[in-house]
Chains A and B, each alone.
Chain A
Amino acid sequence: MKKITELMKEKRIYFDGGTGTVLQSMGLPAGQSPELWNLTHPDKIIELHNMYFDAGANIVKTNTFGINREKFADYRELIAAGIRCAKTAAGGRKDAYVAFDMGPTGQLLEPLGPLKFEDAVSIFADNVKAAVECGADLILIETMNDSYETKAAVLAAKENSDLPVFVTNVYDAGGKLMTGANPAAMIAMLEGLKVDALGMNCSLGPDMMLDIIGEFKKYSSTPVIVNPNAGLPEVRDGKTVYNIGVKEFSEYMVKLAKGGADILGGCCGTTPEFIAATVEQTASLPYSLPSEKDFTCVSSYTHAVIVGEDPVLIGERINPTGKPKLKEALRSGDLNYILNEGIRQTDAGCHILDVNVGLPEIDETEMMVRCVSALQAVTDLPLQIDSTKSDTLESAMRVYNGKPLVNSVNGTEESMKNVFPLVQKYGGGLIALTIDETGIPETAEGRTKIASEIIARAVEYGIRKKDIIVDPLALTVSSNPESAKVTLEAVRQIRALGVKTSLGISNISFGLPQRELITSTFYANALQTGLNCAIMNPFSAAMMNVYYAYRALNMLDSGCVDYISYASSASDKNNQAAAAKTEETLHTAIVKGLKDSAVLKTEELIKINAPLTIINEHIIPALNEIGTAFEQKKAYLPQLLMSADAASAAFEVVKRNIPTEQSDKSRAIVLATVQGDIHDIGKNIVKVLMESYGFTVYDLGRDVAPEKIRDCALEHHCRLVGLSALMTTTVPAMAETIRLLNETDRSIKVIVGGAVLNQEYADMIGADHYGADAMDSVRYAEAFYA
């Protein structure tokens, strides 16, 4: 028998329809797992498959949708029985295939959920191994509403079988997955992972899928599957039914086929009659597989960024080179600093963020994986994974949710040998540097030649030319006067090769005064030469000015809408700064909770005041004022927290001006929500206030074991510990923590707080202080360290 991927080149193929719908009509009670019938009612399952093959389906889905090792201890037997039933039905038929059906695990992956990415891969891998042993013809990953889980399932399928892999996701009426991805993002990721067919199923009827099919037609070079529901469920005569009938369904399927759907079938509510009508109506329609699309794109878990005529900004700020604060954050594992840089660059208008965490003294791979995962919880921009180490690249590409941009490969044999297989396996846009064993050529022609060689070699690895973005390297103009000219000529020549280009812009001005002048002028020249991507500093107004002005001048910004919005916002900021200059003081800015003004005022004060003076004479008195107002119920918690935010922002400015070795770690507190308790709002409020008062906070999070709290206090020589609990059931854990701390070092003092506590409880469990609210805890800490 031909492979399904061969057959689909010749003619349109068809999936079966709903499983549950038919099984319920055969007597399966609502709410019972249909998969159990593989063992208990195999005759019914075979009958189901036979009905669909008879209706004209080429592929039946095995009755294994919900099976995995987490849900069924006997998952292997259930899978084997499910595949056996489908193969029995397919036996002796022409063009009849068995798709091993794999649905979601039902758990959300990290960082928002609890399931680790590799655990998800492992769960799916066990399913795939069982399916391969039993002789499935292909793997169908279906009803996936999360791009990340989809990736885990595809990797498991690819790493444990040679079978064709088909994937269908669940889109909502807005054309997005539950976790946010649109079709372009899913197509980018899935084509990178080299699936054999992709598309959509479930949730929507064929009418609503018509609104989305155009996106697939536009972006997909891979055959598109459409398996809709029979419309939406509604109640008729006390029974739930789907609202699209057989005839109407097949008429919509004709429109879908004409609109770009290659492989057709059904999902919930559809029966063999739906499939028979669909086959009858669509079999004679003209059919050809999708053409190869020429987009260069990368994606995040929500959207794709197309690299084309519209310039792409790649934020360079997460790279320790020349950034002492970032270096310090990486050494101490302070992800918050890095995430903040990510969020700020997102807000500043970047399209992609470069992530480079290479420092000799840290485990780069481990830190890169942590950063990629954490950044993807707070920004929806695609990331550019930037490392010279291939094992770091691989680990990050594996856990990345989407199709990453990979920085970089170069023309050396070693680099190509190491990096190409990664892009071949995981997918990705790839930055190619025009450097080889002999160094960086001095001429544009030399650089273009290396680019050609890299492209040719990449294609041998199955990497598409469109996925290569060449960086001809901007070298410092102060040491080489021809540098800018050569680089721009190389951009022009490399464009002619039919690939996109990128440059690290800032390097051009290294060693010169007023660098922004040179950098932004060079950027304007590069854009004019046709540069596609710039790795740049989005906080540089000069650079952003060039970007917005260039787009307005080159018909890339219809009606100059983006330019006008940018220019007005820049003007607003100037006005705010002017207002802050005249009206506000740091004190009033903090009391009113005005974060931006507080930063501006602190920046002014720091020029003429010692850091400690600002803390003691401006920040603390302002916090005390709002704190007192809160205690007297003249201000509410949101106001107190706004002020704390403003004070923290001011404090950050002060901290930047205190040399690292002089920062005061003596005023410190360990904070934790005790073991068994997951409520952390109260603890977090205390943390904010403590930090705004300048205390160093070691925040251990929630559900923390007593030993961990003790170890942290000992490690940092911290003599003050704050414990929080919301539930009565966790007060014993609090008592146990206090007992352990007392036993270890009686000089360690413990503040307790939380909804269930009062002075009496606090005394009973041996706490040193009962923090009635966050301010009260701060006051105690102030007195303790006075």
Chain B
Amino acid sequence: MKNSDIMMITADAEKIPFNQNELAHRLGVARGYSDELIVRCTEKLKNIVDFKCVYIRTPVIKKKENICDFGFMSVESRNLYNNLKGCSEVFAMALTTGIAVDRELAKLRITSRAEYFVTDGIASAAIDSFADYASAKMRGDKKCPPRFSPGYGDFSLTFQRPFLERLGAHALLGITLDSSCMMTPIKSITAIMGIKDEENN
């Protein structure tokens, strides 16, 4: 069964300017640097990414210090608890570039290490940019602290499983987990984004 309160956001790759800071960081180049290889790999990637996001808006109950209960999972994490100060509701989201990116990377791994490395970096920047885009759509005029993902600080990666389950991320986005809680498609993100309470807004 899929839960019926799940919302979806999609975007055309052309609408998402890929995050230049992230790109520079991943490729080890100066910010704003580009060359023929980067342009070629970016164009190719734009043709195959299929940006999709699912999210829910759900209450977070903090009965005890460092414990955040979202109904579908109760998380003990000091970092997440601090991130969600002043929030009694959150957006829980999962996003992906789609599996075609994995296939392209598998192919480039064989044919060209340079294209593999560059495409991998651009795809990371791309999913990050899409997460910014989707977060802005969800947020509207609300105030929200920065997104916080399983794996950040002491927010354990093991929460990926109930998280993805609740969001129907397998049926809707095709995201699956391996035994180490790593996601496929590899360029996928899960995150919690708090919504500051009205008095703080």
Chain A interfacial positions (CB closer than 8 Å to B): 18-21, 23-24, 29-31, 34-35, 65-66, 104, 106-108, 111-114, 143, 145-146, 170, 172, 178-180, 202-203, 232-235, 239-240, 242, 268-269, 336, 339-340, 343, 377-380, 593, 595, 636-639, 641-642, 644-645, 648, 678, 681, 684-685, 687-688
Known: A31-B166, A233-B5. A638 touches B102 (CB 8 A): no
B11 at interface, CB cutoff 8 A: no
A684 to B180, CA, bound (A): 21
The winner among B1, B50, B178, B179 for most chain A CB atoms within 10 A is B1
With an 8 A cutoff between CB atoms, is B136 at the interface? Answer: no
Q: Which residue of chain B has the shortest Cβ distance to A35 in the bound complex?
A: B1
Neighbouring A residues of B113 by C-beta, 8 Å: 641, 644-645, 648, 684-685, 687-688
5 intermolecular pairs with C-beta atoms under 8 Å apart: A114-B178, A143-B2, A145-B171, A178-B173, A377-B103
What residues of A have a CB within 8 angstroms of the CB of B72 in the complex?
A: 30-31
How far apart are the CA atoms of A19 and B111 in the complex, in Å? 47
- Flag whether B106 is at the interface (Cβ < 8 A): yes
Interface size, B (range): 35 or more
Chain A residues with CB below 8 A from B116, complex form: 684
Interface contact B110-A637, CB-CB below 8 Å: no
Is there contact, CB below 8 Å, between A24 and B4?
Answer: yes
CB pair B99 A240 closer than 8 Å: no
Residue of B nearest to A630 (CB): B28
CB distance from B55 to the nearest CB of A (A): 11
Bound-complex Cα distance A678 to B116 (A): 17
A145 to B98, CA, bound (A): 12
Bound together, the chains give a CA A203 to CA B173 distance in angstroms of 10
B38 on interface, CB distance cutoff 8 Å = yes
Which A residues touch B115, using CB under 8 A? 645
Flag if B37 contacts A642 (CB, 8 Å).
yes
- B110, A268: Cβ atoms closer than 8 Å: no
* Residue from B1, B106, B118, B182 in contact with A111 in the complex, judged by beta carbons closer than 8 Å: B106
Q: Is the CB of A637 within 8 A of B6?
A: no
The residues of B that contact A180 with a CB separation of less than 8 Å are 99-100, 103
Contact B37 A240 (CB under 8 A): no
Q: A24-B4, A178-B99, A645-B112 are in contact. Are A146 and B174 (CB under 8 A)?
A: yes
Q: Which residue of A lies closest to B99 (CB)?
A: A179
Contact B177 A107 (CB under 8 A): yes
Q: B65 near A: Cβ within 8 Å? A: no
Asked if B82 is an interface residue, CB under 8 A from chain A, the answer is: no
Complex interface: chain A residues within 8 A of B35 (CB): 636, 638-639
Inside 8 A of A644's CB, which chain B residues have their CB?
Answer: 113-114
Docked-complex contact B106 and A377, CB < 8 angstroms = yes
Give the complex CA separation of A268 and B5 in angstroms.
Answer: 11
For the complex of A and B, the 8 pairs showing the least CB-CB separation, nearest first, are A178-B174, A20-B1, A641-B114, A31-B72, A114-B178, A108-B176, A240-B5, A688-B113
B171 contacts A170, C-beta separation under 8 Å: yes
B29 lies within 8 A of chain A by Cβ: yes
Q: Are A641 and B117 in contact (CB under 8 A)?
A: yes
A645 surroundings in chain B (CB, below 8 A): 112-115
Nearest A residue to B180, CB-CB? A678
- Known contacts: A343-B110, A636-B27, A636-B29. The answer to whether A112 contacts B170 by CB under 8 A is no
Given contacts A31-B3, A179-B99, A644-B114, contact A114 B179 (CB under 8 A): yes
B180 touches A268 (CB 8 A): no
For the complex, what is the distance from the CA of A523 to the CA of B173, rounded to whole Å?
A: 46
Digitize B74-106: 1 where CB-to-A-CB distance is under 8 Å, 0 elsewhere. 000000000000000000000000111011001
> Which residues of chain A are within 8 angstroms of B38 by Cβ–Cβ distance?
638
Rounded to whole Å, the gap between the CB of B75 and the closest CB of chain A is 14
Q: A113-B184, A114-B179, A645-B112 are in contact. List 17 more A-B contacts (CB 8 A).
A: A20-B2, A24-B4, A29-B71, A30-B71, A31-B71, A31-B72, A107-B176, A111-B106, A178-B98, A240-B5, A379-B107, A593-B114, A595-B112, A636-B35, A638-B35, A645-B113, A684-B113
Q: Flag if B99 contacts A637 (CB, 8 Å).
A: no
Question: Which of B3, B6, B37, B184 sits near A638, CB closer than 8 Å?
Answer: B37
- A residues within 8 A CB of B33? 636
Contact of B103 with A637 in the complex, beta carbons under 8 Å:
no
- Give B102's nearest chain A residue, CB to CB: A112
Q: Report yes or no: B176 in contact with A637, Cβ–Cβ below 8 A.
A: no
Q: Say yes or no for B128: interface residue by CB 8 A criterion.
A: no
| Complex CA–CA separation, A311 to B173 (angstroms) | 37
Q: Given A593-B37, A595-B112, A638-B38, does the pair A685, B117 have CB atoms closer than 8 Å?
A: yes
